[in-house]
Structure 1
Amino acid sequence: MAYTAQKLIQNAYYLSGVVSKGLQYLTTAQDADGLDLLNSILDIKGADYRLIPYFSSKDITAVPGQEKYFIEKLVEAENFVFYINSVRYAMKYTPRNQYFATPRAENIKSLPYSWHLERTKGGSNLYIYFLPSSDYPMTIWGKFGFSEVALTTDLSTTYDLFYIEYLKYSLASCICSEYSVEFQPQPAQRLKVFEQQLTDISPTDFTMNKISSFTKGVDFNYGIANLGTGWWP
């Protein structure tokens, strides 16, 4: 069954107590205000991506010699790989200071082996080094910001019912703030529980790969990238 944004807004008004269920109907202005608040909530999730429970992937094609790529609505990235034929190769994430402020040879076209992500308006800029020497297929995994909705948008095609329920409580809280009405303790507590649960659904993978100073092996570097042309045991 469809669950439209208008239905969510209506239920949020009822939950807030601003509109009495069974006794009052939402006005056109209240529908419009509720929609604006709902879209604001969805947009704010890009700032606190812990409350976005979904990871998804984006396929990109490398442009030979190009370092920077804009990824629309990407708010957090966790994994980035490229492909040579049917073989997948992982790239190493590099922090901002190391990527932009350490010595390196520029304008080298080879197999990319490191990447960095910077948030920008509407998404993120992805930087890769070395500059790709060919049009390698690439895939990035992460969390993407939500799109705006209209009153007739069927939310159930994008969100699970538990997330729609969370949005209802979150919207009800915002409605109370807009109307200077106290959000009742019981739904306020329920909203906190939802937020705690959401941060545990798809947490960031903080698995660490340690490289010992005493190992006989070597880390992946540009010499290997050039000489091995991607083949790495």
Structure 2
Amino acid sequence: MPHQHFYVDQNSIDANIVAELYAQAEQALKKIERHLEAVSVPTLNQLRYAGCHLARYLRSDGSNTNKDELLKAANHCKRAIYDVYETGISFFLLNLDKFKDDYKSVVITDVMSDWITDLETIESIRDRASETSRNNPGDHFREFEEMFDQLKAIVKKASIARTELNKQLKAQRRNSAIFWITVLTFLFLIFGFQGIKFKGQSGNVKQGQAEISSPSTSSNPTN
């Protein structure tokens, strides 16, 4: 996965760049709102900070000496976009971890033939997200948008696959129940037969003991 950076400096920054970044932040918020009910507070704070710096720039004469306010506004917008997609990525990773746990007893590739490739993508994104969070994360917002979209596609496939995978789970549980019922029935028959056999043998022993303990009858001698 190529690493995409987005740098701006005081020489290249202008109001149009800030406006574009702000619009991208709004677009990112709309994308994630479809999956999460709440938007993270850090994201909203970053946009608020961007607005403050933009207002300071507009109140100035707009000279190059005040472009640092535009630069700060741009950096806050970039960080806001990063925070949005980072939140979405974390949400999707948790979703996919639950998916793996829910269907750990069935063969997912029977339904999702490219699941192994998807797993490689998931783990690559997990590692990359952890690594990037420590190194100027705002400069990597485009890369995070790409990773967000990749996970979104995998989550969509996984959601569709749940119907067929649930059928596999149901069949697996039914077969397991049939197996154990068969085993228990077999054991019941074996022990039942042994019980009947034991009772028969016990009856024969008691009958023999009764015959032994009974006095023998003999004819009286003739006088």
Report the structure, 1 or 2, having the larger strand content.
1
Larger Rg: 2
Report the structure, 1 or 2, having the larger helix content.
2
Is the TM-score greater than 0.5?
no
TM-score relative to the length of structure 1? 0.24
Higher normalized contact order (CA 8 Å, seq sep 6+, divided by chain length): 1
